[in-house]
Amino acid sequence: MTASPPIRLTGLAKQFGRLRAVDGIDLTIDRGEVVALLGPNGAGKSTTIDLALGLSTPSGGSAELFGGRPRDAVVAGRVGAMLQGGALLPTTTVVESVALVAAAHRHPLPVAEALARAGVAAFAKQKVARLSGGQLQRARFAVAIVSDPELLILDEPTAAMDVEGRRAFWTSMRDLTGTGRTVVFATHYLDEADAFADRVVMMSRGRVVADGTPAEVKAVVAGRTVAFSARAPLGDLPERLRRLPEVQLVEVRGEHLRVASTDSDAVLRLVLGERSDAHDIEVTARTMDDAFLALTSAADAEEAAR
């Protein structure tokens, strides 16, 4: 018997006016997986999460949770979520907030247990307005788990936390997910995805541009960018650079060239061997934004070739 996967997105799309925030996502997440949704701001992570939870209606495709409508899974208490911009009331205490949400659920955990599991018991009697950033996120986490959900969706759960807070947060997450829970979290920290997920789905411009183990995704991001200017026209050099096996992106702006590659040595050898007029040469470690750009333009090129 194969149970329905916690999340199945099929051709999922969302259009806001002229902006296609989510542009055809196919993604299945199986029971027990801990998946990082990695991408820069504006990649469509939060919109995808809203669609998956049934908080907004897709313009195309479908989102299923446990083989059914998202709302049914929510009503059954099988999904818990920490949303961006889903905050607690400042005038209530932590324990009141958790109790309110618990009251709204059909079969909640005892409030005290939710508080203990989220590690917020120490400041449970404090007003939400007086919590530190890290404490607030933990309080929101307590609210997210009070229905004892099988699937947890966390949208940038460690935003506003310092490094120490992040580590503590993920440690308590590990304890919770040890029991076969499925976790999906959005982040724009590669190190966080690397350390805590066993699968990384990279999103850019509303699409999935890479999907694999953290090691695979890190390799994609690991490259360098070589940039230089030439005094004479570049001729067919950009074309030949594109044909190098490790090159992911070649960007030409007049006499200026930027090449993204996981083998910057090969790029430099080719350029310096042929072009004595190359100057202002720079080799820089790739930022994640560069990696996303490389992946996205690769996906675009693929589509254009089809």
Partner 1 sequence: MNLHYILLDAVRQLRNVRSVVLTFLLPIAMLLIFGSAYGSGGAVDQATGLPWLVETTVQMGGYGAMMAGLSQAFAIVNERSIGWNRQLRLTPLTGSTYLVSKVVAALLVAAASILAVVLVSVLVLHAHLGAPQWLAAGFGLWIGIIPFALIAILIGQHARPDFAQPLFMVTFLGLSILGGLWVPLSILPSWMGNVAQVVPSYWLNRLGQLGAAGSGDVLVPALVLGAWTGLLSALITWRYRHEAARA
Q: In angstroms, what is the minimal distance from the CB of 236 to partner 1?
A: 52
Output 56 or 262, the one with its CB closest to partner 1. Answer: 56
Cα 99 to Cα 88: distance, rounded to the nearest angstrom: 12
**Do 98 and 111 meet the contact criterion of CB atoms below 8 Å apart?**
yes
Rounded Cα distance between 97 and 95, Å, is: 5
Contacts of 235 (CB under 8 A, 6+ apart): none
Which of residues 22 and 295 has its CB atom nearest to partner 1 in the complex?
22
For 83-172, where are the E strands, in sequence order? 151-155
Q: How far is CA 4 from CA 17, 60, 219, in A?
A: 33, 21, 32
Shortest spacing between CB 210 and partner 1, in angstroms: 29
CB 140 to partner 1: min, Å: 8
- Whole-angstrom Cα Rg for the chain: 23
CB of 146 to partner 1, least distance (A): 9
Cβ neighbour number for residue 301 with a 10 Å cutoff: 12
Q: What Å distances lie between residue 208 and 38, 112, 131, 204, 302, CA to CA? A: 10, 39, 36, 7, 14
Q: Which is nearer to partner 1, 93 or 261 (CB)?
A: 93
Please give the C-alpha separations between residue 144 and each of 97, 111, 118, 215, 267, in angstroms, as whole numbers: 11, 12, 9, 29, 49
Least separation in angstroms between residue 192's CB and partner 1 is: 23
Closest distance to partner 1 from the beta carbon of 139 (Å): 11
The dihedral built from the CA positions of residue 206, 192, 186 and 130, taken in this order, carries a sign that is negative
Residues binding partner 1 (CB under 8 A): 53, 55-57, 74-77, 79-81, 83, 85-92, 96, 99-101, 103-106, 143, 147
Q: How far is the CB of 56 from partner 1 (least distance, A)?
A: 5
Pairing of strands 79-82, 151-155: parallel
Of 130 and 242, which has the nearer Cβ to partner 1? Answer: 130
CB of 44 to partner 1, least distance (A): 17
Residue whose tokens read 């324990």:
95
Query: In DSSP terms, which residues pair with 80 in a beta bridge?
Result: 152
Where does residue 16 rank: exposed (0-12), middle (13-18), buried (19+ CB within 10 A)? exposed
